[in-house]
A = this chain, B = another copy of it.
Amino acid sequence: MSLASGHPVIAIPGPSPVPARVLRAAHRASPDIYGDELAQLNLHVMAQLKRLAGTSAHLAPYIGNGHAAWEAAAANMFDRGDRVLVLTSGHFGQSWARQLEDMGIVVDRLDFGLAPPDPARLAERLAADGGQDLRAVLVCQTDTASSAMADIPALRDAMGDHPALLVVDAIASLGCAPMMMDDWGVDVLLSASQKGMMCPPGAAFVWFSDRAAARGATGLTTPYWDWNLRANAAPVGMWRFWGGTPPVQLIYALDEALRMILDEEGLFSVWARHAALARTVWAAIDAWGDGNPDIRACVDDPALRAASVTAVTLPGADALRAWVTEHCGVTLGVGLGAADPANALRVAHMGHCNAAMLLGTLAVMQAGMVALGIPHGAGALDAAAAVIAEPA
């Protein structure tokens, strides 16, 4: 029997749930794109996006997804033959490195498996870069495949006075976990609309510092990707921000979502909520694991886990994912890049996610384990609910 009819719960690491208010804001015919109202709205959204990233630096918006942000940033920072260092903690860091190589950039890698980057290894590696020809250090703040959380300030410290740019992919973390681009000395930051920003997919963003801007165009810089044109668009007009026709409906959606995050709940509260929801998931996993050592979070140390998604090793994960979808209306993330993907899954707690959605997700997971005969420890749901019950 299926008990799935009801509001579906999408617990995948993006596209994440879109608030009803945001969908409503986007439900409108294209307005007068010559009008001042839309131009002012666009400027406001740009300002909000800088608040979100904790920066007063430059911002180039793109119609695109996360992969567009990767290419946009690279096309402005690097030339073919430039050498960069990518710190990888899973599938997305590796994909990013390959995309850079496919653009003709020479990529060195420091691979941390499914763990977050170790600042000490970074420091060591940079110390060995005598000629300092590494143009940049690139890192995912959260690689959703492993759900490792990089410690960006520590990595910045580890870079010392090496001239490489620090480039952070915050696609799966911005709006979920702390990011203070200016305070932390991040040179280039990337993100997209469809995860912590709670919007439909379709917009990507690159924030960049004066230091990054100073490097100037390269042989890879094309008119469409050129971040200077977009970051300095205000006197020219809205179309310049977006390299042509602006994504009107998505601008309305971003405006509403950023108001919810920045002006209503408050960015610190949003971060705290994600942290609490993450600990809730971990409590359940720990309890299940007490009865089955093969159930465990991919990242051992809770201090190194992401706020927005938790990758889990769980025997029978594929069957469990299918069961909770068919019987309970919940979609869990696949075990992307795991050693044994059929026995891995990911639970997202990203963006528009509250205690009820998350506890419901954990509870149907347990129901599925019972139904499928997957061994697991007892008390997981009590433990999860207890985290929710904790005072702030």
Residues of A within 8 A of B (CB): 1-10, 12, 14-20, 23-24, 26-35, 63-68, 70-71, 75, 99, 102-103, 192, 194, 200-202, 220, 222-225, 242-250, 260, 265, 269-270, 272-273, 276-277, 324-325, 327-331, 334, 352-364, 366-368, 370-371, 378-379, 381-382, 384-386, 388-392
Contacts and interface: CB of A to CB of B under 8 A. Distances in A.
Given A15-B30, A27-B27, A359-B360, 4 more contacts: A6-B352, A18-B30, A24-B27, A370-B389
Contacts of A391: 1, 371
A17 B32 CA distance: 10
A334 to B, nearest CB: 6
Given A224-B68, A260-B5, A381 B385 contact: yes
A225 B102 CA distance: 11
Q: Is the interface of A mostly helix, strand, loop or mixed?
A: mixed
Given A24-B24, A361-B356, A224 B5 contact: no
Given A352-B7, A364-B356, A382-B366, A29 B34 contact: no
27 contacts: A3-B277, A5-B270, A5-B273, A6-B17, A6-B353, A8-B29, A8-B32, A10-B32, A30-B194, A32-B325, A63-B68, A64-B64, A65-B245, A66-B245, A67-B224, A200-B249, A200-B250, A220-B222, A328-B354, A329-B355, A330-B355, A356-B364, A359-B367, A360-B363, A363-B363, A363-B385, A381-B385
Contact of A355 (B248, B276, B364): B364
Given A99-B223, A367-B386, A244 B65 contact: yes
A90 B366 CA distance: 36
Given A359-B364, A381-B381, A224 B354 contact: no
B192 A245 contact: yes
A374 to B, nearest CB: 11
A194 B16 CA distance: 25
Given A4-B355, A64-B64, A389-B367, A245 B34 contact: no
Nearest to A378: B382
B23 A29 contact: yes
A242 B364 CA distance: 32
B24 A354 contact: no
B67 A65 contact: no
A3 B276 contact: yes
Contacts of A24: 24, 27-28
